[in-house]
């Protein structure tokens, strides 16, 4: 019998009793972002001496994880992750965290088709509602799919969790085995990175491409937030939202009346997201707001769903691009730093949207040990992972301009990418491109 076919009867227990259900060799799933448990994590960490090879899956840890802090050499717990936060990246650098390559919008399907059933699933939720559901709050994602394949389902009830309306955003009490109480206190917040002049220059170029009624997906970071800041005062109106992550920048546009969703062809009037992470003010805006619709990640991230709204505009960061238009957004050589996330799926969804535009943005340079280096290169750093292939790339934006690579030949792409690089590096890039034949006949 599949786990999803069981009829359960939720029982309230302590975090310590819940942690006692875990056995050596189990797969334990912590869910993602604000849905990761804390009281259970601490109780499981206390059991470290009794356990071996407990494998834990998680995503975007928003605070230190007790199981990792209690087990610095990995004798007891193994940590697997769908997308790194800064904390996960540090643990990866220590050899304690292992990335699982994925398109974020496919993860529900991985649980249903490719992964063994979860032994213990523990996710943080809102208190039970009047209809008998434990709402996932701002962390819908793949939690429903994981629960349907879990042997034991535990919810960690958090009084501070904002309640988000939306399809399949929660578990019915009959699908839950045990209920524990979360630690008291406010939810973790994500500080907004203040935009610099380069961020604002890139934002100005992108904002000029956004028209009334466009539908937005905004990624994380200072550049996308700078776009939101500019749009707030640009006079553009009736924007829609269909995004993976709901950010402070989008909520600021909503509170300013710029985002209404009134011109969306699908989910009209709704800000559609799969998860949210931001400030206390954003959490207050989300709580029981009928304009917000939180959906599973396979709904928000599937390219065919994204393309159902016309003039879909997707804005995402990258860290390095080559002259042919490949974007490496998730690694620095063999060092993994974040994840594929939804970038490729939203690039493809925007392309399929009538009048859609996808923007991959980056600063032209970065500094390492006091030396300025170009983010636009002849060849990607050895070991770097291609997040968005050259065949999918549409608009590329740096502080030096904007270029659409769709339909462009290799020599045309190389020239456009060189024009977006910092002037200090253009001559070398052009010379190297000629030597490699990227600009046509080799004259050297």
| Cβ atoms of residues 148 and 112 within 8 Å | yes
Average pLDDT over residues 119-130: 98
Report d(CA 115, CA 381) in Å as an integer: 32
Average pLDDT over residues 300-314: 98
Which two structure tokens, joined as six digits, stand for 17? 């009793």
Average per-residue pLDDT in the chain?
Answer: 95
Average pLDDT over residues 269-291: 97
Name the pLDDT band for 223 (thresholds 50, 70, 90). Answer: confident
Position 368 scores a pLDDT of 87
Name the nearest CA neighbour of 92 among 78, 102, 105, 106.
78
Phi, psi of 226 (to 5 degrees): -65, -35
Long-range contacts of 187-192 (CB under 8 A, 24+ apart): 187/34, 187/158, 187/160, 187/161, 187/280, 187/283, 188/34, 188/62, 188/63, 189/278, 189/279, 189/280, 190/62, 190/248, 190/277, 190/278, 190/279, 192/225, 192/248, 192/249, 192/278, 192/279
Name the nearest CA neighbour of 321 among 201, 223, 427, 417.
417
Report d(CA 414, CA 390) in Å as an integer: 11
- List the domains of the chain with CATH numbers: 3-181 (3.40.1080.10), 197-435 (3.40.1080.20)
Flag whether pLDDT at 359 surpasses 90: yes
Report d(CA 340, CA 357) in Å as an integer: 19
Select which of 244, 298, 330, 399 is catalytic.
244
Position 5 scores a pLDDT of 53
Name the pLDDT band for 443 (thresholds 50, 70, 90). Answer: very low
Position 35 scores a pLDDT of 98
Average pLDDT over residues 193-210: 92
The SS3 assignment for 75 reads coil
Residue that has been written with the tokens 């088709």 in this structure: 113
Position 6 scores a pLDDT of 58
Flag whether pLDDT at 75 surpasses 60: yes
Instruction: Between 155 and 224, name the one with better pLDDT.
Output: 155
Strand partners, 331: 336
The SS3 assignment for 401 reads strand
Position 442 scores a pLDDT of 55
354 is catalytic: no
Report d(CA 112, CA 124) in Å as an integer: 21
Report d(CA 229, CA 249) in Å as an integer: 7
Average pLDDT over residues 42-60: 98
Name the pLDDT band for 201 (thresholds 50, 70, 90). Answer: very high
Q: Which residues contact 186 (CB under 8 A, 6 or more apart)?
A: 160, 280
Flag whether pLDDT at 190 surpasses 90: yes
Report d(CA 339, CA 259) in Å as an integer: 28
Name the pLDDT band for 192 (thresholds 50, 70, 90). Answer: confident
Average pLDDT over residues 326-353: 97
Position 179 scores a pLDDT of 98
Q: Within a 10 A sphere around the Cβ of 75, how many other Cβ atoms?
A: 12
């Amino acid at each position: 019998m599949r786990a999803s076919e069981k009829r359960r009867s939720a029982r309230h227990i302590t975090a310590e009793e819940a942690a006692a259900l875990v056995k050596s060799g189990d797969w334990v799933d912590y869910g993602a972002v604000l849905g990761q448990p804390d009281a259970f994590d601490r109780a499981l960490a206390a059991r470290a001496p009794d356990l071996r090879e407990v494998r834990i899956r998680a995503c975007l840890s928003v605070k230190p994880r007790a199981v990792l802090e209690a087990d610095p050499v990995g004798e007891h717990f193994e940590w697997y992750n769908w997308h790194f936060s800064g904390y996960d990246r540090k643990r990866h650098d220590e050899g304690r965290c292992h990335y699982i390559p994925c398109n974020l919008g496919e993860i529900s399907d991985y649980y249903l088709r490719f992964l063994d059933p979860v032994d213990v699933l523990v996710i943080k939720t809102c208190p039970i509602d009047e209809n008998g559901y434990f709402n996932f709050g701002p962390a819908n994602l793949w939690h429903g799919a994981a629960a349907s394949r879990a042997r034991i389902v535990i919810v960690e009830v958090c009084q501070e969790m904002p309640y988000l309306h939306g399809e399949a955003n929660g578990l019915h009490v009959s699908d839950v085995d045990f209920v524990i109480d979360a630690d008291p206190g406010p939810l973790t917040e994500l500080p907004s990175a203040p935009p610099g002049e380069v961020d604002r220059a890139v934002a100005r170029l992108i904002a000029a491409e956004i028209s009334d009624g466009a539908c937005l997906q905004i990624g994380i970071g200072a550049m996308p937030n700078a776009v939101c800041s500019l749009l707030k005062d640009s006079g553009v109106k009736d924007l829609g939202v269909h995004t993976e992550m709901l950010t402070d920048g989008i909520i600021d546009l909503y509170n300013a009346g710029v985002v209404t969703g009134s011109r969306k062809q699908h989910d009209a009037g709704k800000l559609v997201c799969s998860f949210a992470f931001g400030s206390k003010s954003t959490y207050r805006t989300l709580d029981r707001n009928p304009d917000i619709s939180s959906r599973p990640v396979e709904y928000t991230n599937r390219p065919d769903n994204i393309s159902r709204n016309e003039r879909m505009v997707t804005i995402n960061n990258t860290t390095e691009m080559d002259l042919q238009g490949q974007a490496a957004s998730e690694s620095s050589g063999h060092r993994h730093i974040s994840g594929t996330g939804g970038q490729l799926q939203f690039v493809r969804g925007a392309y399929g949207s009538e009048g859609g535009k996808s923007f991959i943005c980056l600063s032209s340079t970065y500094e390492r040990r006091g030396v300025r280096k170009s983010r636009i290169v002849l060849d990607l750093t050895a070991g770097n992972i291609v997040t968005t292939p050259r065949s999918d790339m549409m608009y590329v934006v740096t502080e030096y301009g904007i270029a659409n690579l769709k339909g462009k030949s290799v020599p045309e792409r190389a020239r456009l990418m060189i024009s977006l690089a910092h002037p200090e590096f253009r001559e070398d890039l052009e010379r190297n491109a000629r030597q490699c034949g990227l600009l046509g006949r080799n004259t050297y």
